[in-house]
Structure 1
Amino acid sequence: MIEKERFLPIRIQKNHALLKRIAKNHPKRLNIESDQTRRLAGYKGEQAIDFHLSKLPEKEFLIFHDLRLSSGKHFFQIDTLILNSAFVLILEVKNYGGTLYFDPDFNQLIQTNSKGEVKGYPNPIEQTRVQCSEMKKWLLKRNINIPIEFFIIISKPSTILKTAPGHAKMLQRVLHVQFLLKSMEKIKAAHKKEVLSPKDMKKISRSILKEHTPKNFDILKHYEISRSDIQTGVICKVCSSYPMKRHYGTWCCTKCKTKDKSAHITALKDIFLLNNSSPLSNQQICKFLHIPSGDIAKKLLSASKQRCSGSKKGRVYFPNTDYQQIKDLE
């Protein structure tokens, strides 16, 4: 049973909003595009395991995607955590192609792609062992002592895996996605003693969901982009031009003449993503949407059920939680 679904990471959404609203020739654009391409590939790789996990018996497993928990001193992230009555399994998903060489001497992963380009990465085996250690601490704080296993999942079946002679054991924890279920059967066979009752599993699930803390950060500060570089206004979904004009209760594109009553919804999402999800005043929203009247903005925000607090001039608005619960970009 999926206890926490996989949604599009907020970092990808912020990159997307930023790329829509900076100039095509902006000096930071290539850097953002490169980061976005890498993150989208990673997300696609994580999605590749979902089909296989859907075949697991629902009553035996609880599945949590994209977790960020704290063991006390710091946070740790897990791509996918699977809870069983006899064991916990952590999956770290990699969407690397070409040839992957797990170097035992320098403890790193070396990728050679189809063009012959070579890149080095931290060893994901060691990375995931750290995650297991942190998860164990998290569980022990709740008086739960249960075996924790892990796999590094390579989402592309064509990727070639290599290591140095005599170190084949190093790759026992690394497998292509199509072998995940078979490998899980081996883990299940090795851990037959039940540690957790169904009641215990539900209790742990509630704790995990309660303590999951999504990472947030200021995207403009991260890329050192000035707010003055952000192009404001409602964007036309048909031709991507902006700003659309508000006319008789609808948004009108001055270029392709498209009319769209709800075009401001995406613009509202953009401003909250680019503003680090901080509360915004009616005046700030008016300025961003190019709306001359605060009353019009208030009606639009009310109709879109935008979360708010305060009253009159002291009222501020917050991003809706469903902004974080989407699976694909627009």
Structure 2
Amino acid sequence: MIIKKREMPLSLKKLEALERRLPKKRPTVEVLARQMAGFKGELAIDFSLSFLPSEHYWFIHHKRKPLPIEALVVMANERTIVRHASAASASFSEKIIPCGRIPKYIINIEQTYIKAHYSERELESLSELLLKQHQELDNDILKQFQIDRSEIISGVQCQVCSRYAMEWDRRRWQCPYCRFRMLNAHAKALEDYSLLFSPTLSNRDARKFLHLTSPNYTKHILQRCSKSFIGKTREKKYLLR
């Protein structure tokens, strides 16, 4: 049973936002490619795990309980070739498998451990506790790559030609280059702001980032896109995530 579905990590979302809004290519491209490849590999493993009977297995990551641990290296790419540098490393070959063999490997392990360490009720309680206390790593992506805030491209990106910045015209966002028009194009821009700068912003911050002049319309956008707000009047800040 999958207690918590795998989602794209916040760190990967931040890398994607950074790539969209940097004027020049940086080393972040390589980091993004590696992390994206890793995430796709995890999804491939999830697919293999889906062949196991869901009512018999519980998948809980990052546990800290005194349970037997089986070490295993899983290759998401079925075409990966592993070469052993010595006889010592070759002895670990049975612990290196392609993801397609995961179900069979787990079933074999089940035959080794007969004693149940937890009841189903205890597993449910443990799962609820882990979900409740889960906190995703929320690092400062600009500080991590030593990028100044002024280097980030502001404005609403066109979803057709990918250029900046769309302009608000007659109740729609319009690209000055390809003339594409869209109503809610600001949503992605606000998401990028929350990933790169802060999960909260003021009306003034939003106007500057979205290239808007009307405080009233900006307020309308923020009320629709935010989850809640803190403060009052000029000190009010909207929570984006």
Once the two structures are superposed, the pairs formed by residues 104-143 of structure 1 within 5 Å of their partners are 135=63, 138-139=64-65
Matched, 1:50 2:46: yes
> Which residue in the other structure is 1:184 paired with?
106
Out of 219, 233, 236, the residue aligned to residue 158 of structure 2 is 236
Q: For the residues of structure 2 that align with 1:301 and 1:229, how far apart are their CA atoms? A: 24
Paired residue type of 1:147: P
> Which residue in the other structure is 1:200 paired with?
122
Out of 223, 228, 253, the residue aligned to residue 175 of structure 2 is 253
Q: Contact 2:226–2:240 (CA<8 Å) still a contact in 1?
A: no
Identity, in percent, stands at: 32
Out of 197, 206, 209, the residue aligned to residue 131 of structure 2 is 209
User: Per-residue displacement from partner, 1:210-258 (whole Å, max 9, x unpaired)?
Assistant: 2222111111111111111111000110111111111122111111111
Q: For the residues of structure 2 that align with 1:263 and 1:306, how far apart are their CA atoms? A: 18
TM-score relative to the length of structure 1: 0.69
Residue segments in structure 2 that go unaligned for 5+ positions in a row: none
Q: For the residues of structure 2 that align with 1:166 and 1:223, how far apart are their CA atoms? A: 39
Partner SS for 1:178: helix
Partner SS for 2:91: helix
> Which residue in the other structure is 2:23 paired with?
23
Distance 1:297 1:198, change over 3 A: same
Q: Contact 2:160–2:180 (CA<8 Å) still a contact in 1?
A: yes
Q: For the residues of structure 1 that align with 2:74 and 2:122, how far apart are their CA atoms? A: 28
Once the two structures are superposed, the pairs formed by residues 146-185 of structure 1 within 5 Å of their partners are 146-163=67-84, 164-185=86-107
Out of 216, 231, 234, the residue aligned to residue 313 of structure 1 is 234
Matched, 1:225 2:147: yes
Shift, 1:50, TM fit? 1.7
Once the two structures are superposed, the pairs formed by residues 248-287 of structure 1 within 5 Å of their partners are 248-275=170-197, 277-287=198-208
User: Per-residue displacement from partner, 1:255-296 (whole Å, max 9, x unpaired)?
Assistant: 111110010000000011111x44211111111001112211
> Which residue in the other structure is 1:72 paired with?
none
User: Per-residue displacement from partner, 1:24-44 (whole Å, max 9, x unpaired)?
Assistant: 3xxxx3311011111111111
Q: Which has the higher helix share?
A: 2
Partner SS for 1:308: strand
> Which residue in the other structure is 2:4 paired with?
4
Distance 1:241 1:166, change over 3 A: closer
> Which residue in the other structure is 2:55 paired with?
59
Runs of 4+ in 1 over 4 A off after TM superposition: none
Out of 190, 207, 210, the residue aligned to residue 289 of structure 1 is 210
Partner SS for 1:19: helix
Partner SS for 1:231: coil
Q: Which has the higher strand share?
A: 1
User: Per-residue displacement from partner, 1:115-145 (whole Å, max 9, x unpaired)?
Assistant: xxxxxxxxxxxxxxxx7xxx4xx32xxxxx4
Partner SS for 1:175: strand
Paired residue type of 2:200: P
Q: For the residues of structure 2 that align with 1:253 and 1:47, how far apart are their CA atoms? A: 35
Distance 1:166 1:289, change over 3 A: closer
For the aligned residue pairs, the C-alpha RMSD in angstroms reads 1.6
TM-score relative to the length of structure 2: 0.93
User: Per-residue displacement from partner, 1:94-120 (whole Å, max 9, x unpaired)?
Assistant: xxxxxxxxxxxxxxxxxxxxxxxxxxx
Shift, 1:305, TM fit? 4.3
Paired residue type of 2:19: L
Partner SS for 2:238: strand
Aligned residues: 240
> Which residue in the other structure is 2:34 paired with?
38
Shift, 1:8, TM fit? 1.2
Q: For the residues of structure 1 that align with 2:237 and 2:203, how far apart are their CA atoms? A: 7
